[in-house]
């Protein structure tokens, strides 16, 4: 399947043009922002051109989002949920087409592109239910005839800066939850995936216009340096949710904190799977392979390290090599493909650079690591996934390289495995494969995995939306999507009410006037 041909048909069906405005605030506009191209990593085809947001566009968006917030915060939460339900239903209808846009723009396999939209639908369902579950607390007061409680208020217009690898679902994790909380949302997608954002916003716009609902979602496009910076230093935006690299997240976090704004940071992962000799090897192999290879190793949750018990190490590694050699790398639109292209040339260079560094530090490349050339690999972004035998003292294994490189480690005792596991600066996802209850306990205990996500007998990638998603240490500490992540999109208000006829003071303080 050719990316170009598929794309023009799809763009038409979705009401998109070859050239698109990259700013939406109740209407599409562009006031002289520079033009960028959405380029498919599959074969380098330019899918569409997008005129990004100028400062004037940005200003219009923020003003619009503030105005809409003043109206939206007055809407009862279950009514807000009704809008999200309708958006979810529209996404159900458009799942195939939108999933295809994702595949075309970022090179995901068809099933992964569809999965991305499914994740949005799931979050829409979750947020609709949540809109009736925004609960507070009732707290005992030390004073007679007093009541204390806790309630939650909307925050304001918030910003969501998303990355290319989950170009729409991460926006929905934040936006659908924030919307039922009463916030309005300004979306800045990655400049590597603006077309998906525009396509999603077109679908959202259709629902909003049909229902004559509040225009709570807006879109700005442009570089992190320009638009990202405007957001980071904009006092009017109380919360910025950012998904991306550790250095960018650090800079953004500092900027937002310096104006007392809040952030939800979802930064790099360096996720490991511990494979015990007491595991079911078939499950472990599949879990590690999916974790390392899905999305061509470009997930925050990608398995980057496998820590394998020495007793099964050689069997496990040779089986893994077999799996790797049977995996087809190529055009992600073809049904048999498991590993598509990397997003761009820079990603390919990083892949090669990391392998070189690993080899210099004593790592042994035992499989893959090549850049594929030829007719089927036109864009030059296709690589054979790499397996590298490593040791924990190497520096490169402490870094996240957004590519399919799996470092392999051997361990003797579980203590040693856990030490290797926790020895990196990132703390997003983790997995342990074992059928031994005591080993599972160690992994899940306070001295076990130090990550935000800890999985047993399932891999590091592929989290469900019902749990809170995010990680510790340099991953940034944010939580998104399920559980009580909604609290991050609201402000907490402690309420004290006096029903009595006197004014007793707390802590027994006397004040006689």
What residues are labeled active site?
Answer: 266, 300
From the list 377, 378, 474, 359, the residue with the least C-alpha distance to 428 is: 474
Residue 430 interacts with ligand UN1 (CB under 6 A)?
A: no
Pick 22 or 115: Cβ nearer ligand UN1: 115
Residue 267 interacts with ligand UN1 (CB under 6 A)?
A: no
Interface size with ligand UN1, residues (CB under 6 A): 10
Residue 164 interacts with ligand UN1 (CB under 6 A)?
A: no
Residue 184 interacts with ligand UN1 (CB under 6 A)?
A: no
Among 95, 299, 305, 473, binds ligand UN1 (CB under 6 A): 299
Q: 285-312 burial by CB neighbour count: b if 16+ within 10 A, else e?
A: bebbbbbbbbbbbbbbbbbbbbbbbeeb
Residue 474 interacts with ligand UN1 (CB under 6 A)?
A: no
Distance CA 59, CA 362 (A): 52
Length of the chain: 513
Helices 194-211 and 77-106 cross at an angle (nearest 10°) of 150
Pick 74 or 464: Cβ nearer ligand UN1: 464
Cβ–Cβ under 8 Å, residues 64 and 28 = no
Among 58, 164, 166, 433, binds ligand UN1 (CB under 6 A): 166
Residue 301 interacts with ligand UN1 (CB under 6 A)?
A: yes
Q: What angle do CA 24, 27, 33 make, to 5 degrees?
A: 50
Residue 304 interacts with ligand UN1 (CB under 6 A)?
A: no
Residue 271 interacts with ligand UN1 (CB under 6 A)?
A: no
Taking the complex as a whole, the smallest distance from the CB of residue 151 to ligand UN1 amounts, in Å, to 32
Among 23, 25, 165, 221, binds ligand UN1 (CB under 6 A): 165
Cβ–Cβ under 8 Å, residues 68 and 149 = no
Cβ–Cβ under 8 Å, residues 146 and 497 = yes
Residue 171, class by beta-carbon neighbours within 10 Å (0-12 exposed, 13-18 middle, 19+ buried)? buried
Taking the complex as a whole, the smallest distance from the CB of residue 69 to ligand UN1 amounts, in Å, to 27
Distance CA 20, CA 413 (A): 57
Cβ–Cβ under 8 Å, residues 202 and 15 = yes
Kindly indicate which of the ranges 31-39, 298-306, 336-344, 361-369 contains the residues binding ligand UN1, using the contact rule CB under 6 A: 298-306
Among 7, 405, 463, 468, binds ligand UN1 (CB under 6 A): 463
Taking the complex as a whole, the smallest distance from the CB of residue 498 to ligand UN1 amounts, in Å, to 47
Residue 102 interacts with ligand UN1 (CB under 6 A)?
A: no
Interface contacts to ligand UN1, rule CB under 6 A: 165-166, 170, 243, 299-301, 461-463
């Amino acid at each position: 399947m050719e990316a170009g041909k598929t794309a023009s048909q799809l763009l038409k069906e979705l009401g998109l043009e070859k050239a698109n405005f990259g700013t939406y605030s109740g209407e599409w506009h562009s006031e002289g922002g520079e033009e960028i191209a959405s380029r498919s990593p599959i074969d380098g085809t330019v899918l569409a051109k997008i005129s990004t947001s100028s400062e004037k566009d940005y200003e219009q968006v923020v003003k619009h989002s503030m105005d809409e917030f003043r109206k939206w915060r007055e809407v009862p939460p279950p009514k807000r949920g009704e809008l999200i339900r309708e958006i979810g239903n529209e996404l159900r209808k458009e799942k195939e087409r939108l999933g295809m846009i994702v595949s075309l723009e970022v090179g995901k396999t068809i099933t992964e592109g569809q999965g991305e939209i499914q994740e949005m639908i799931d979050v829409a369902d979750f947020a609709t239910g949540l809109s009736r579950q925004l609960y507070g607390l009732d707290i005992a007061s030390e004073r007679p005839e007093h009541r204390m409680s806790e309630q939650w208020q909307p925050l304001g217009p918030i910003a969501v800066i998303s990355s290319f690898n989950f170009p729409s679902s991460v926006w929905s994790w934040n936006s659908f939850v924030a919307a039922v909380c009463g916030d309005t949302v300004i979306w800045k997608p990655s400049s590597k995936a603006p077309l998906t954002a525009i396509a999603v916003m077109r679908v959202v716009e259709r629902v909003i216009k049909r229902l004559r609902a509040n225009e709570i979602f807006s879109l700005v496009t442009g570089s992190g340096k320009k638009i990202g910076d405007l957001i980071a230093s904009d006092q009017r935006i109380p919360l910025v949710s950012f998904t991306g690299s550790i250095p960018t997240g650090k800079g953004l976090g500092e900027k937002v904190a310096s104006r007392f704004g809040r952030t939800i940071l979802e930064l790099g992962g360096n996720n490991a799977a511990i494979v015990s000799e007491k595991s079911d090897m078939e499950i472990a192999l599949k879990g590690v392979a999916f974790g390392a290879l899905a999305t061509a190793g470009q997930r925050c949750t990608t398995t980057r390290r496998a820590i394998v018990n020495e007793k099964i190490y050689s069997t496990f590694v040779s089986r893994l090599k077999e799996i790797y050699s049977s995996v087809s790398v190529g055009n992600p639109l073809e049904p048999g493909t498991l590993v598509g292209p990397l997003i761009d040339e820079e990603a390919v260079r990083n892949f090669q650079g990391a392998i070189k560094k690993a080899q210099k530090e004593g790592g042994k490349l035992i499989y893959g690591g090549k850049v594929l050339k030829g007719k089927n690999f036109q864009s030059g972004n296709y690589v054979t996934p790499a397996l590298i035998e490593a040791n924990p003292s190497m520096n490169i294994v402490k870094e996240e390289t957004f590519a399919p490189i799996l470092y392999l480690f051997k361990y003797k005792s579980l203590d040693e495995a856990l030490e290797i596991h926790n020895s990196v600066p990132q703390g997003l996802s983790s997995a342990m494969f074992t059928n031994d209850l005591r080993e599972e306990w160690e992994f899940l205990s306070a001295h076990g995995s130090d990550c935000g996500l800890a999985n047993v007998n399932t891999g590091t990638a592929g989290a469900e939306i019902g749990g809170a998603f995010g990680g510790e240490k340099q991953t940034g500490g944010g939580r998104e999507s399920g559980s009580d992540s909604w609290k991050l999109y609201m402000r907490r208000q402690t309420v004290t009410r006096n029903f009595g006829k006197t004014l007793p003071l707390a802590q027994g303080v006397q004040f006689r006037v």
